[in-house]
Structure 1
Amino acid sequence: MPRPRVDVVVLTMNDRPAEEAAAQATLLAQTGVDVRVVVVGNGCKPQVVPAGALTVCLPETIGIPGGHNAGAAALRDAGDPADWLYFVDNDATFPRPDVLARLVAEAERHPEAAWVQPRLTGPDDSTTPRRWVPRLRASNPGRGRSPQ
């Protein structure tokens, strides 16, 4: 059985080179999936790019959604898009090498879901800063949200 393929868009402004290199190392260390990466420079030329990754240089900052869309389009245009698409910040590290495989498995268990995402934590892996809770009026970042 072939491994799941995951296309990954990394958005950067070249503002955290050390953190970005560490984050990309944990991305490339993911097991159980085949990963293809595009690094999108949002208003810049990406400076930290893993071997074999695609790059997109946006001449001006167009925001997070615009940068994500540019990266997704570059992956699509490169041909043979993966079944899964994942967006990651340039300083986000994966605490375990099976995070992407677990996300794919969760998505496959819930085909009615529009998306799945990990619970984000701070560097100590136990706290979730409020700014990382992606839902309005959410008081418990560990609680998922059911569709309405």
Structure 2
Amino acid sequence: MSLPRIGVVIVTMGMRPRELAALLASVRAQDVPAARVVLVGNATPLTGIPTDATKLPLKENLGCPGGRNVGLTALLDSGEVDVVVELDDDGLLIADDVFRRIRDLFAADSRLGVIGFRVADEHGHTERRWVPRLRAGDPMRRGLVTASLGGGHAFSVPMLRQIGLWPAEFFFGHEESDLAWRALDGGWKILYEPELVLQHPRTSPARHAVHYRFTARNRVWLARRRLPIALVPVYLGVWVLLSMIRMRSLGGLRAWWGGFVEGVRKPCGPRGPMGWGTVWRMTRLGRPPVL
């Protein structure tokens, strides 16, 4: 049996040229080379970037999930890869054996759908919100989880062909949950592997002007799309309460409630609720889909 072939997708808006150059160098330095690397330019022409990667410049900003879908589609259509690694353009692979480890993990388990990396800053610190489980005190605890971070992860191509790509309409925020819930409902495993590290600067998601609006809107869309109808009010009630407790800005509060109303009123894409067996599986993994 042949070993899985690795493809890479990186989406950039051209605003971090130094970080992007370092990331591309760290991809080239891997001891198992990628079969193909695709660089997607979200509303940027990608001129002046020295790279052997396939460049796909886009005239408009499709958002993070929409831009990634362009790269994923190119790799899936090529038939050249079995696993896709997606990396933030301001991330960095600090070890040269990341692709080899990924290849071997997927080769060992045909039902492995997603591998999530540990994200750490330049000092090796991993923030609690970067650990994809409720009990996030130990970022080095490996195991099966119900989610993965968007900044650094690997996908099985057979899984993507079965469950579909990112929800492009989300544009920014909670697209990881939508894809992860579909993967779990399709019978795939999500593994958090802390030995696979993506170095990433410590930032706040609230740095994006649309953070509060899209966070609220996309939570409503996620519930409407993926939860059994009985769990929709439970999930939204929990997150309304938590969001109001955490809110520290009047402007953020207005944006959040504007996004919530938008999520209720506007179309959210096709509905495909998870089965109750998946709800139970997520609960046994430590995170029922109401938190």
Fold equivalence (TM over 0.5) = yes
Q: What TM-score do the two structures reach when normalised by structure 1? A: 0.83
Matches within 5 A, 1:1-148: 4-47=4-47, 49-77=49-77, 79-124=78-123, 126-133=124-131, 135=132, 137-140=134-137, 141-143=139-141, 144-146=143-145, 148=281
Change (3 A) 1:13 1:132: farther
Distance in 1 of aligned mates of 2:50 and 2:99: 18
Q: Secondary structure at the match of 1:9?
A: strand
| Post-superposition offset of 1:113 | 2.1
Structure 2 CA distance, aligned partners of 1:43 and 1:10? Answer: 14
By relative contact order (CA 8 Å, sep 6+), the higher-ranking structure is 1
> How far apart, in 2, do the equivalents of 1:109 and 1:2 lie?
12
- Contact (CA 8 Å) 1:5, 1:35: kept in 2 or not? yes
Which is worse superposed, 110-119 or 82-91? 110-119
Q: Secondary structure at the match of 2:117?
A: coil
Identical columns (%): 34
Residues 75-110 of structure 1: CA deviation (Å, up to 9, x unaligned) = 234x23211111111121111111111112122223
Q: Deviations over 1:100-144 (max 9, x none)?
A: 1111212222322221122111112x21134433x3635243333
Count of paired positions: 145
Q: Which structure features the higher share of helix residues?
A: 2
Larger radius of gyration: 2
TM-score by length of 2: 0.45
Q: Is the 8 A contact 1:24 1:50 kept in 2?
A: no
Once the 2 structures are TM-superposed, how far is the Cα of residue 49 of structure 1 from its aligned partner? 4.0
**Which segments of 5 or more consecutive residues in structure 2 lack a partner in the other structure?**
146-188, 190-280, 282-291
Q: Deviations over 1:17-76 (max 9, x none)?
A: 111101110011111243311110112122464533111122221121111111111223
CA 1:122–1:100: 2 relative to 1, 3 Å: same
The CA RMSD over aligned residues, in Å, is 2.3
CA contact (8 A) 1:46 1:55 kept: yes
CA distance in 1 between partners of 2:86 and 2:53 (Å): 14
Output the CA distance in 1 between the equivalents of 2:50 and 2:5.
18
Checking the alignment, whether the CA contact within 8 Å between 2:3 and 2:103 is kept in structure 1 is no
Q: Which amino acid aligns with 1:99?
A: V
Aligned CA distance change for structure 1 residues 57 and 128 (closer, same or farther; 3 Å) = same
Q: 2-side partners of 1:4 and 1:29: how far apart? A: 19
